[in-house]
Structure 1
Amino acid sequence: MSLFSRRAPERSATSSEGGVWLERWSGGRRAEFDEVEFVDDYAVLRWETDRGGFGLAHALHDGNGQVHAAIRALRRRHRERTEARYACVAVAMAATQVSDPYVPKLIACDLQEGADQYETTWARLAMVLGQRAPYWFATLRDRDAIAAWRPGTPPAVVPACHVTNPVGALAELAAGEPDGSPAAELCLHLAREIRARDHDAVTRHVAELLENAADGGDGAHLALGAVPAELRHPEPAAPPEMVRRAGWLSITERRDVLAHRVAGLAQRWDGGQDWHTGGAVVVDPTACPVAREWEQRLVPADRGQAPTVLEKHLLDNAHDESDILLLDPVTGIPALRRAPGTDREDLFTLCLQRLPTSSPLAALILSGETSWVRTEDGTLWFAPAREGWGVSWGYSGTGCHTLAQLAGVLLDDISAPAMKAGAHEPESSLFELLRTTPQSGVTTYTRAQLETSRTR
């Protein structure tokens, strides 16, 4: 029932009465369920009590959400009528103690100005409402199922899919691809993998919650809003790496919003580990002649059409809306130049995970914070690196180990992939060479120097 079809109480309880709203309950008539309203990224179930309205919120963008964010969303919707409509709001939160059976938390806040949030229990809430309130696991928060809920209804049967990783975009992109498309095979696999893992997780959590309820725990005082639907397709084997990489290469070159959604999901899921791009690189073009050489080959990007996935990825991380989008025509990778008038002239871009060339390594160039590779055909490249596995020199840490490993494999195969966890230990002579390389200035090691170091 809406705000205008029910006369709200003239005032809600205030702190002057002592204690927080949910803890002051002394009994009264059974609360009457009113409606479900969707505000911003929250689904809020509202009950009418004889001491004001109560709202139970579930975040539709995250497993937890924040009670103050839910209240702000309600204030934007109802403005000056908010306090007349709600005396208290609580957000259902995912369990945090993995050692205990799964029981979600409740974080509540009264709507009086300046009120602090507090944790309460499902037992307390059931006593206030005179009925058990529902909880939807973050993998089962289907908007239609939540909107249709009423007290006493059985749990909806919902395909498991976490709210942070909706797989609909994957299915849509796959449906629009031709037969045999690597992008379609990749998207279908990723959708099934996400669905299978979400199904396994929520099935385990439901069992733990039911166990807690059977033992008389706080889980006995809530109702399940939904249970997972049967998983009809087991988690399949992943497509070959070359298929996955070909699929992502196709997707990251696209400019449509569907490709942007799929790419965003991949970044949340695994950081885009199968993309052809790797870690971020920041280049000061004034640092050395090599950096200037790379800068001079950049060309303006086409700003007359929507950005590609990679361009949008950079633009979303821009320092300023006036930053200038450029393109490296050798690699096809975009770059961002700081807006004119800023203190620094840094360029922000992405390296590759492997070099698309058959020309052998001619030199390794170390300058500032950037590792460069020049091949025998004269082309300049950033040293391949994965996200989170940067390369460095001049010290005995992980970055230097990774660079020594990389130098060894690139000497043998210029198209070898960037290093990752579990790679073999670097050759001790190469590691010692790079460990003792000065971090200041520019150091160039020719292929002959690197090969000589290997034989020591």
Structure 2
Amino acid sequence: MDEIDATQRRAGWLELLVRTDDLARRCVREVTDWDAGADLPYSNPQYIEEIESTWAYQWTQRLIPTQRTAAFELLATPDQPGDALVDPDTDAPVWRSDGGDYTAAMPQRLPATAPLAELILDGPVWIRTADDKVYPAPRDSYYGISWGYGGSGPGSLALLVDALLDDINAQAPADINGAPEGLEALLSRKLPDRTVLTRVQLEAARRGESVIIAVDEDQDTDEDDK
């Protein structure tokens, strides 16, 4: 596979993921077992509760029904009851169980056309762009992203933020080390769920400057003072 250009591999998977035949489904299962789907445009399934926050609710409201394609092998077994949905903004598949729970494949890069405006620490982490669109934060096929401790999750998130500040369409980094120290320190802080970090705050942290964050642990909206 390495002798094939990464762009060509990704294009091939895009064609296969929309197929509905058994061979395509088996290919998706094999590649996720092999390398967690590194060449797929989305992978790394994430559980999302509609009632988790206003951002999660906003995201679920834009999902649209679709046919069950090979892409859904990332999310559900062939006999699992539920509904096949798609996020029209990222084309990522989403599975809604009979109980109303959502599992989504996370995009490895965003199709956004406006720069990052806010990072929202929620379940999952969200990105708001300057044109007021909200996306699940992209992530690598293997590494997860999180915050609030000194470890791989905040390290991976700090690398992602560093990349997205420069290029909103950047591929989610496949690493956990090497982010600017200030960003990693900020994201290692025990900030409550639904904390909103603005671009100004993130850029200040990247420069190594002190960032003061006023948070209300009961608030789930993006107030200007966060």
Shift of 1:424: 5.0
Counterpart secondary structure, 1:315: coil
Question: Which residue of structure 2 lines up, in the alignment, with residue 142 of structure 1?
Answer: none
* TM-score (normalised: structure 2): 0.84
The reply on whether 1:347 has 2:88 as its aligned counterpart is no
Query: Bigger CA drift: 401-410 or 251-260?
Result: 251-260
The answer to whether the Cα contact below 8 Å between 1:437 and 1:443 also exists between their aligned partners in 2 is: no
1:87-123 CA-partner distances (Å, limit 9, x unpaired): xxxxxxxxxxxxxxxxxxxxxxxxxxxxxxxxxxxxx
The reply on whether 1:360 has 2:115 as its aligned counterpart is yes
The reply on whether 1:379 has 2:133 as its aligned counterpart is yes
1:416-439 CA-partner distances (Å, limit 9, x unpaired): 111213x6511111111111142x
1:246-261 mapped onto 2 (5 Å cutoff): 246-261=11-26
For 1:376 and 1:330, locate their aligned partners in 2 and report how far apart those are by CA, in whole Å: 15
For 1:258 and 1:358, locate their aligned partners in 2 and report how far apart those are by CA, in whole Å: 35
- For the aligned residue pairs, the C-alpha RMSD in angstroms reads 1.9
The alpha-carbon distance between structure 1 residues 267 and 312, as it changes in their structure 2 partners (threshold 3 A), is: closer
For 2:78 and 2:152, locate their aligned partners in 1 and report how far apart those are by CA, in whole Å: 26
Amino acid at match of 2:189: T
Counterpart of 1:328 (choices 87, 90, 94) is: 87
The reply on whether 1:434 has 2:187 as its aligned counterpart is yes
Question: Which residue of structure 2 lines up, in the alignment, with residue 415 of structure 1?
Answer: 169
Amino acid at match of 2:135: W
1:216-255 CA-partner distances (Å, limit 9, x unpaired): xxxxxxxxxxxxxxxxxxxxx5111111111111111222
Shift of 1:263: 2.4
Percent identity for Structure 1 against Structure 2: 35
Shift of 1:327: 1.9
The reply on whether 1:288 has 2:49 as its aligned counterpart is no
Shift of 1:353: 0.9
1:4-403 mapped onto 2 (5 Å cutoff): 190=1, 238-302=3-67, 307-316=68-77, 321-340=80-99, 345-367=100-122, 369-403=123-157
Q: Stretches of 4+ moved more than 3 A in 1?
A: none
The answer to whether the Cα contact below 8 Å between 1:278 and 1:384 also exists between their aligned partners in 2 is: no
Question: Which residue of structure 2 lines up, in the alignment, with residue 167 of structure 1?
Answer: none
Bigger RCO of structures 1 and 2 (CA < 8 A, at least 6 apart):
2
Q: Which runs of 5+ in 2 are unaligned?
A: 210-226
The answer to whether the Cα contact below 8 Å between 2:45 and 2:103 also exists between their aligned partners in 1 is: yes
For 2:186 and 2:35, locate their aligned partners in 1 and report how far apart those are by CA, in whole Å: 34
Amino acid at match of 2:50: P
The reply on whether 1:443 has 2:204 as its aligned counterpart is no
Counterpart secondary structure, 2:125: strand
For 1:390 and 1:429, locate their aligned partners in 2 and report how far apart those are by CA, in whole Å: 20
The answer to whether the Cα contact below 8 Å between 1:324 and 1:338 also exists between their aligned partners in 2 is: yes
Q: Which runs of 5+ in 1 are unaligned?
A: 1-189, 191-236
For 1:290 and 1:317, locate their aligned partners in 2 and report how far apart those are by CA, in whole Å: 30
What is the aligned residue count? 208
Amino acid at match of 2:5: P
Counterpart secondary structure, 1:370: coil
Amino acid at match of 1:308: T
1:181-207 CA-partner distances (Å, limit 9, x unpaired): xxxxxxxxx4xxxxxxxxxxxxxxxxx
Shift of 1:404: 0.7
For 1:390 and 1:317, locate their aligned partners in 2 and report how far apart those are by CA, in whole Å: 26
Shift of 1:278: 2.6
- Larger gyration radius, structure 1 or structure 2: 1
Shift of 1:378: 2.0
Shift of 1:364: 0.6
The answer to whether the Cα contact below 8 Å between 1:280 and 1:387 also exists between their aligned partners in 2 is: no
Question: Which residue of structure 1 lines up, in the alignment, with residue 220 of structure 2?
Answer: none
Counterpart secondary structure, 1:411: helix
Amino acid at match of 1:442: R
1:27-65 CA-partner distances (Å, limit 9, x unpaired): xxxxxxxxxxxxxxxxxxxxxxxxxxxxxxxxxxxxxxx
Amino acid at match of 1:413: D
For 2:59 and 2:88, locate their aligned partners in 1 and report how far apart those are by CA, in whole Å: 11
Amino acid at match of 1:430: L
The answer to whether the Cα contact below 8 Å between 1:384 and 1:418 also exists between their aligned partners in 2 is: yes
1:365-404 CA-partner distances (Å, limit 9, x unpaired): 011x311111122221111112330000011111011101
The alpha-carbon distance between structure 1 residues 317 and 430, as it changes in their structure 2 partners (threshold 3 A), is: farther
Shift of 1:289: 0.5
